[in-house]
Amino acid sequence: MSDVGTVEPGADPKPPSPVRDRDVLAVLAGVVAAVLLANLLSAAVPGADAVLAGAPVLVIVLLGGTALVMLRVLGRHAGGR
């Protein structure tokens, strides 16, 4: 059992970088903007409300955002080797 304050051997003792935090906040802002945009479009375009009501928009946007972040992270690690 490890304590909260201990560092495992071979582990990186540095705290998460502010760039990583900024990336998370940027993705979060993008997800919120996409959902709000979908809401505005469904109100402005007749018939779009019925289409968006049948699709899990939030889930699709979250999966897309997660995929983009994972691809960026994997690409960054593959290029850094």
9-51 pLDDT tens trace = 666 666 656 667 787 788 788 878 888 888 888 888 888 888 7
| Alpha carbons 43 and 58: distance in angstroms, whole number | 16
Say which DSSP state 14 is in.
Answer: S
- pTM of the predicted structure, to 2 decimals: 0.50
The encoded tokens of residue 9 equal: 């051997």
Highest mean pLDDT among 1-5, 16-20, 50-54, 77-81: 50-54
Give the distance between the most distant pair of CA atoms in the chain. 60
Q: Are 15 and 22 in contact (CB under 8 A)?
A: no
| Alpha carbons 35 and 62: distance in angstroms, whole number | 10
